[in-house]
Amino acid sequence: MVRFIIVRHGLTDFNRLRKYQGQHEANLEPIGIEQAEATAERVAAEYRLDAIYSSDLSRAVKTAEPFARRFSLPINKDAAFREVDVGEWTLQLIADVEKNYPEDIRSYRSAVGEFRFPGGESFEDTERRAMGGLMKIAEKHDGETVLVVSHGGTIRAMICSLLGYPIKELSRVNPVGNASITVVEYENGQARFILTGERSHLPEHLK
């Protein structure tokens, strides 16, 4: 059995501005750095980590850094855990996308799991690469507890897969917030969720 502690990165400037980030680099806001510290404190109080993996995008790596300091572990950067590539929507305000891509937005909202971002990935693409990364970790770290820092869309796709839902049913999985914790025990193809999108460790001013 491997225990995955999956954490979404802290708040970024793009999150605050309500822009699509995708695989573009974005900076953690000061509140995002505080969120990462608070999340590392919560995890350290309850678990002992054996390894740390992170998306190679800087907002995820920066979120992983407080964990690396507390546990004296290196951060293994892995592009498998990058956010879904939102293609033409990258860097655009959510409000502008709703105005400029009305048909795509309708498709996105009606069948998110089957949606392919214009010029980018589908959630099926994202699920395939992220779960590939997760299964490599499971094989390498049997009997251990592993932190994985990733992104909202990617975590949602992984949760969907671990629950055994086809990706077309992604809408059954709620989005997870910044600095949320999802804890999953995985063994022999079966996943048991301990926490999903947990943010109770964040004080009100950090939510």
Q: Which two tokens stand for residue 45?
A: 């109080």
Q: Is 201 a catalytic residue?
A: no
SS3 of 155, please?
A: helix
Is 4:146 a contact under the CB 8 Å cutoff? yes
Q: Is 205 a catalytic residue?
A: no
**DSSP state letter for 116:** B
172-185 burial: b if 16+ Cβ within 10 Å, else e: ebeebbbbbbbbbe
Provide φ and ψ at 192, rounded to 5°.
-120, 120
Is 121:112 a contact under the CB 8 Å cutoff? no
The rounded distance, in Å, linking the Cα atoms of 143 and 72 is 19
**How far is the CA of 102 from the CAs of 99, 108, 122, 165, 171, in angstroms?**
6, 10, 18, 28, 19
Residue in 24, 151, 201, 205 annotated catalytic: 151
The rounded distance, in Å, linking the Cα atoms of 184 and 20 is 28
Residue in 9, 24, 201, 205 annotated catalytic: 9
Active site positions, annotated: 9, 151
